[in-house]
Amino acid sequence: MDAYELITRNAEEIVTDEEVRELAQAPEDKRVYVGYEPSGVLHLGHLLTANKLIDLQDAGMEVVVLLADVHAYLNGKGTFEEIRETAEQMQAQFVAYGLDEENTEFVYGSEFQLDEEYTLDLHELELSTTMNRAQRAMAELQSGETAKVSHLVYPLMQALDIEYLDLDLAVGGLDQRKVHMLHREELPDLGYESRPCLHTPIVADLTSGEGKMSSSEGVTISMEDSTEELEEKVNSAFCPPTRDPEDNLENPVLELFEYHVFPRFDEVVVERPDKYGGDLTYEAYESLAADLESGELHPADAKGTLATYLDELIAPGREKLRELRS
């Protein structure tokens, strides 16, 4: 797999393809980042973008992980001391999950977001950005939550972070698209170059196949989960053997295979008794998805296999959490 294929594997959107192709021609020493608000234990939403960071490291790029403590403070996630403790745990979990520690720069937002130059640029961005534009880039509020001024400043800071971290590429889930577009539209007016952006997919809700898997609503899988808890969640997941394109539902089991398992394992083995056809071995996601569609692979066997591989992926992070808490 060449650098461009690694960089764009499982990407939902590339802005723009031409810019990313240019980066892929000489990816060494190019800097790419994802920002995470330190708000708890890593879950599969975090790990989807972490998989992409691992791809980017394999392609030769330098990875920057922003542990956005100031953002978390603006979002009411606790005191700076509490947020910093969570950020330290998250950093350890990312390394345990597979990010190359020697080639990953972990940066706290407070290291630069409180400096005078950054603050003045933020005020300049506030002057040039309309309320409506900031609202469009603002993250969705939880049910019953009232919007505050901090919620509007939050996306402006995210847009500015891309410049201050001296990046060549910004990565985030598709839910970060509005912020990245704000960066591309508004930063040139401050005299800064806009950067290309790459967006990873959003995995559907585990139990319904609708919306998105979320740690705040519904069921998600995190590094806190025991093997038994993980198996219970996966076994109860929505996994129709065939998908009706008119029902607008996704198959989260297949999505987890596509975005989490196959990028990290060379092959996937479904263990079955001989009386049910024996083991199945897959080297590509498409083959497994086709067998589920045709009936060759039963949803129960797919779920059991998914639970086994996900457990192997999160086990090092689970162990690291135990060490940190002991």
Residues at the binding site are 33, 154, 158, 161, 176, 215
Separation of alpha carbons 83 and 66, rounded Å: 13
Question: CA-CA distance, 269 to 200, in Å (whole number)?
Answer: 26
Indicate the annotated binding residues for L-tyrosine.
33, 154, 158, 161, 176
Residue of 95, 3, 109 lying closest to 66 (CA atoms): 109
The set of residues, in sequence order, having a beta carbon less than 8 Å from that of 126 and lying 6+ positions away, is: 153, 156
| Residues placed in the known binding site for ATP | 215
Nearest residue to 60 (alpha-carbon basis) of 100, 12, 97, 16: 100
* Whole-number Å distance between alpha carbons of 199 and 180: 9
DSSP output for 31-45: EEEEEE---SS-BHH
Cis bond before residue 227 (omega within 30° of 0): no
